[in-house]
Chains A and B, each alone.
Chain A
Amino acid sequence: MTAFLVRNIGQRLILLVFISIIAHSVVHLAPGDPSLVDPSNPRMKAEDIARIRAAFHLDDPLYTQYAYWMRDLFTGQLKSFKDNQPVLGKIWDRFLNSLPLFLVTTLLTWFIAFPFGIQSALRRGSLLDRGGTLLSYILISFPGFFLAYICIILVVKVFDVPVIGISTFGLEDAGLWYQSMDRIWHLTIPALIFASGSIAVLSRYVRSQMLEVIHMDYMRTARAKGLSEETVIYKHGLRNALLPFITMFGLMIPGLIGGSVIIETIFSWPGLGRLGFEAIMNRDFPVILTLNFIAAILTLAGTFISDLLYAVADPRIKLQ
């Protein structure tokens, strides 16, 4: 077990080093340059650009820049090109905004996808099952930005509620009740749009897992013993069907950054995805690189946790 942990963590650390090198080279070798963001600004003189380049070490060779990046990142000194704020602090602030969105999305996904997937497996071929299958294909194929605009029109026209941003401007003095209701309205629509795609994927997956389990020998044995249908399905069937989903806990973590760029931009939600988009538009290399790095850490940590959880949940699997 200890050997497994040491080797696995070691392998992931090595991968992480390579990921950071590749990310750094991709961003720095691409032709766009941070000092060229605003070329039409008449107050930007050649010597200003030279000063900016020197201040950000942009004239040093790539490996020196990489070393500076790594050193600053781990000492917490890394500053954004745009406003000279510490990168880690900026990311932490945005992370706190993204977190509620992520949590609500995850809860919605799990609480809708699991019952739905199980029911459509149990009633295979019924109207619910076939309708659900078609609906999930439609949801998978729906362009997120289009869905977002449809929802905005619907909510603004039918319910007359503002949905852009994290809360309504000018409501700071309102009572706690109004403020929290306002927050919940602003949270619901983007969370639903985020969740729609994952609900579709996850419920299909739950359904196929459940269908596989239903025909197992131990299900027949359980029925033959005379157990009630509920016990057979929910105790013998569901517990085995759910096993692979433990791994999903780990695999969902990286969704915090990657999946949220467009929806957060449309809803002006000041989260990680929007921070990434702003950083890209401003050629803010330290923020782009650090976000990429954190996403990679989250992915690696996610697969590691899911391996561990799977081994804990399923005694047939031995870690070596």
Chain B
Amino acid sequence: MDLAEHSGGTLTDQQITPFREKWNLFRKNRGAVFSLWFLIFLLILSIAGKLLTLYSPPFNPATVRLSEKFLPPLTPFKSDLVKQADAPPFAIYLLGTDELGRDVFSRMLEGTPVSLTIGFVAVGISIFVGIFLGGLAGFYGRIRLGWLTVDTLIMRFVDIMLCFPTFFLILTVVALLPPSIYNIMIVIGLTSWMGTARLVRAEFLSLREQDYVMAARSQAIPEMRIIFQHIVPNAIAPVLVSATIGVATAILTESALSFLGFGVQPPDATWGNILSDGKGYIFDAPWLTFTPGFTILFVVLAFNLCGEGLREAYNPKLRQQR
């Protein structure tokens, strides 16, 4: 309610909610806004892709048409050797076919929800662990367990985790465990929470001393409620920003693992293993390499630009530097 006084503005200033203010800042970054629309489009595409590849026969990514191998993109379907029921969607191979005559477009559609799910779930796990440990270190850091404080214990553990070469560790664990996308999500999540934990701890340390927390304490509000209703919402913004960029990193890691042959196993498609299968035919059928490659590039780029836009919106000082 003191907002107008603070900013010396008029009544209209009061109507600008914090969200509105951020959105206005975010909107000025055209690259970020474009990326956001692209990602929303991708999300719709991935839901549609999941449903279509599961329930619609023309979109079935596993349909093998051996007489239709290595057709370049945009080849119309007019074969006498293949049953009419096995025709690709819209009777055209939008992105060509692979070494078994499977439609690359359908396979890319099948891979989209997999990559996005891995990205989001892995980051979800890392945020959860990061907020839990970071919050514990920030809020209850002074409690002593024997001769160590909680803070020392947790932050030394963060230091230890930071010493492992991340990709090498992920590769080791994923190679030793039986291949499954759940293992990949969990492993990527459990090896990337350290940055979030440090951020959350720093936020908690400064928020813990704020007057409104003191006020809440003086009213004997339970500590858990103070933490989850009063501190976490104020500490979440920088976490969400780094999470957006974290999704990009997770998608890159997953595609690298699929490329090396771990992760999702062959009959099922992801962007990484379409590229990995296609690289053997790179001179004869370059679309098998370039389609998934550029898809990964654009999606990761969109997440990175979007994250950067969010970071600027929440930290306007950065914007002046641009």
- Give B268-303 interface residues, CB cut-off 8 Å to A: 275, 279, 282-283, 286, 289, 293, 296-297, 300-301
Knowing A141-B304, A143-B252, A261-B167 are in contact, say whether A19-B160 is a contact too (CB < 8 A): yes
Q: Which residues of the other chain, A, contact B216 by a CB distance below 8 angstroms?
A: none
A258–B170 alpha-carbon span in the complex (Å): 11
Knowing A146-B293, A299-B163, A300-B163 are in contact, say whether A31-B256 is a contact too (CB < 8 A): no
Question: Does chain A have a CB within 8 A of B165?
Answer: yes
A146–B165 alpha-carbon span in the complex (Å): 22
- Most A-side CB within 10 Å, residue of B172, B248, B286, B322: B172
Find A138's partner among B162, B163, B297, B308 (CB 8 Å cutoff): B297
Question: Does chain B have a CB within 8 A of A140?
Answer: yes
A262–B296 alpha-carbon span in the complex (Å): 16
Question: Does chain A have a CB within 8 A of B177?
Answer: yes
Q: Which residues of the other chain, B, contact A134 by a CB distance below 8 angstroms?
A: 31
A138:B301 contact, CB within 8 angstroms: yes
The chain B residue with its CB closest to the CB of A129 is: B322
Query: Quick check: which of A22-30, A61-69, A219-227 contacts chain B, the rest being far away?
Result: A22-30
Question: Does chain B have a CB within 8 A of A265?
Answer: yes
Q: Closest approach, in angstroms, between the C-beta of B14 and any C-beta of chain A? A: 33
Knowing A138-B301, A149-B279, A300-B163 are in contact, say whether A276-B260 is a contact too (CB < 8 A): no
Q: Which residues of the other chain, A, contact B301 by a CB distance below 8 angstroms?
A: 137-138, 141
The chain B residue with its CB closest to the CB of A302 is: B163
Q: Closest approach, in angstroms, between the C-beta of A12 and any C-beta of chain B? A: 9
Size category of the binding interface on chain A: 35 or more
A8–B282 alpha-carbon span in the complex (Å): 52
Q: Mark A139-165, 1 if CB is under 8 A from B, else 0.
A: 011111110011001000000000000
Question: Does chain A have a CB within 8 A of B168?
Answer: yes
- Give B155-206 interface residues, CB cut-off 8 Å to A: 156, 159-160, 162-169, 171-173, 175-178
Find B167's partner among A26, A32, A212, A258 (CB 8 Å cutoff): A258
Q: Mark A204-241, 1 if CB is under 8 A from B, else 0.
A: 00001001100000000000000000000000000000
A140:B304 contact, CB within 8 angstroms: yes
Q: Closest approach, in angstroms, between the C-beta of B307 and any C-beta of chain A? A: 10
Question: Does chain B have a CB within 8 A of A202?
Answer: no
The chain A residue with its CB closest to the CB of B248 is: A141
A296:B171 contact, CB within 8 angstroms: no
Find B165's partner among A18, A30, A32, A258 (CB 8 Å cutoff): A258
Question: Does chain B have a CB within 8 A of A15?
Answer: yes
Q: Which residues of the other chain, B, contact A280 by a CB distance below 8 angstroms?
A: 171-172, 175-176
B321:A146 contact, CB within 8 angstroms: no
Question: Does chain B have a CB within 8 A of A295?
Answer: yes
Size category of the binding interface on chain B: 35 or more
Q: Which residues of the other chain, B, contact A291 by a CB distance below 8 angstroms?
A: 168
Q: Which residues of the other chain, A, contact B283 by a CB distance below 8 angstroms?
A: 153
Q: Closest approach, in angstroms, between the C-beta of A53 and any C-beta of chain B? A: 17
B175:A19 contact, CB within 8 angstroms: no
- Most B-side CB within 10 Å, residue of A23, A142, A145, A295: A145
B260:A265 contact, CB within 8 angstroms: yes
A271–B162 alpha-carbon span in the complex (Å): 23
Question: Does chain B have a CB within 8 A of A259?
Answer: yes
Q: Which residues of the other chain, A, contact B31 by a CB distance below 8 angstroms?
A: 134
A146:B296 contact, CB within 8 angstroms: yes
The chain A residue with its CB closest to the CB of B177 is: A30
Find A295's partner among B168, B178, B289, B308 (CB 8 Å cutoff): B168
Question: Does chain A have a CB within 8 A of B255?
Answer: yes
Knowing A137-B305, A145-B256 are in contact, say whether A295-B176 is a contact too (CB < 8 A): no
Question: Does chain B have a CB within 8 A of A288?
Answer: yes
B168:A30 contact, CB within 8 angstroms: no
Q: Closest approach, in angstroms, between the C-beta of B309 and any C-beta of chain A? A: 11
Question: Does chain B have a CB within 8 A of A254?
Answer: yes
B163:A32 contact, CB within 8 angstroms: no
Question: Does chain A have a CB within 8 A of B59?
Answer: no
Q: Which residues of the other chain, B, contact A137 by a CB distance below 8 angstroms?
A: 301, 304-305, 308
Question: Does chain A have a CB within 8 A of B93?
Answer: no
Question: Does chain B have a CB within 8 A of A97?
Answer: no
A149:B282 contact, CB within 8 angstroms: yes
Question: Does chain B have a CB within 8 A of A257?
Answer: yes
Q: Closest approach, in angstroms, between the C-beta of B83 and any C-beta of chain A? A: 35
Question: Does chain B have a CB within 8 A of A277?
Answer: yes
Q: Closest approach, in angstroms, between the C-beta of B8 and any C-beta of chain A? A: 25
Q: Closest approach, in angstroms, between the C-beta of A308 and any C-beta of chain B? A: 18
B163:A296 contact, CB within 8 angstroms: yes
Q: 23 A-B contacts, Cβ less than 8 Å apart? A: A15-B159, A18-B160, A19-B160, A27-B176, A31-B176, A31-B177, A124-B322, A137-B305, A141-B252, A141-B301, A143-B256, A143-B297, A146-B293, A149-B279, A149-B289, A153-B283, A208-B321, A257-B165, A259-B165, A261-B168, A261-B171, A292-B169, A295-B164
Q: Which residues of A contact B (CB under 8 A)?
A: 15, 18-19, 22-23, 26-27, 30-32, 124, 134, 137-138, 140-146, 149-150, 153, 208, 211-212, 254, 257-259, 261-262, 265, 273, 276-277, 280-281, 283, 288, 291-292, 295-296, 299-300
Closest 7 CB pairs of A and B: A258-B165, A30-B176, A146-B293, A32-B176, A141-B300, A141-B301, A296-B163
